[in-house]
């Protein structure tokens, strides 16, 4: 009887892989890196994999992780939907409909949420170009 798959019995009799036991006994080179933009804290040491949680906890209790998160860019905590402006652009206040949807004050069209913020999808009758107004979110 030949079968490619190991039988249940073979699996039961096979030596345990036991990843944790084998690896945690062996010292390895460990690098813990906490790196939001701006600050990079890198910790290299020799130890067991099982020691990583304790090492991270030591960094935390030493205030290192607080330091790192304090250096996190403000955009990370910006409200959802807030798109950082790449270039200073003159932005106009959209007009709001009773149902709360934002509209282009020129074309009275409901604004759409685009990659760079709200935009008006209307085409100008006179210039035949799309509305190029930028809106405040």
- Cβ 77 to Zn ion, closest distance in Å? 32
> CA 118, CA 114: separation in Å to the nearest integer?
6
34 vs 135, which CB is nearer to Zn ion?
Answer: 135
Binding footprint of Zn ion on the chain (CB under 5 A): 104, 106-107, 120, 122, 131
**Exposed/middle/buried for residue 118 (C-beta within 10 Å: 0-12, 13-18, 19+):** buried
In terms of CB distance, is 43 or 122 closer to Zn ion? 122
Backbone angles phi, psi at 35, to 5 degrees: -140, 80
Q: Cβ 83 to Zn ion, closest distance in Å?
A: 18
**Of 104 and 118, which CB lies nearer to Zn ion in the complex structure?**
104
Query: Of 101, 100, 135, 99, nearest to 120 (Cα)?
Result: 135
CB of 123 to Zn ion, least distance (A): 9
**Shortest distance, position 120 Cβ to Zn ion, whole Å:** 3
Report the relative pairing of strands 117-119 and 112-114 from DSSP bridges: antiparallel
């Amino acid at each position: 009887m030949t079968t490619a798959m190991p039988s249940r019995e073979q699996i039961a009799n096979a030596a345990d892989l036991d990843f944790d036991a084998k690896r945690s006994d062996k010292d390895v080179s460990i690098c813990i890196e906490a790196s939001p933009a701006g600050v990079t804290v890198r910790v290299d040491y020799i130890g067991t994999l099982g020691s990583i949680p304790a090492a991270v906890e030591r960094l935390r209790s030493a205030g290192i992780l607080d330091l790192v998160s304090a250096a996190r860019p403000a955009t990370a905590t910006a409200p959802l939907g807030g798109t950082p402006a790449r270039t200073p652009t003159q932005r106009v206040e959209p007009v709001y409909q009773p149902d709360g949807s934002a509209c282009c004050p020129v074309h009275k069209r409901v604004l759409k949420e685009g990659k760079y913020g709200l935009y008006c999808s209307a085409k100008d009758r006179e210039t035949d170009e799309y509305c190029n107004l930028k809106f405040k979110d």
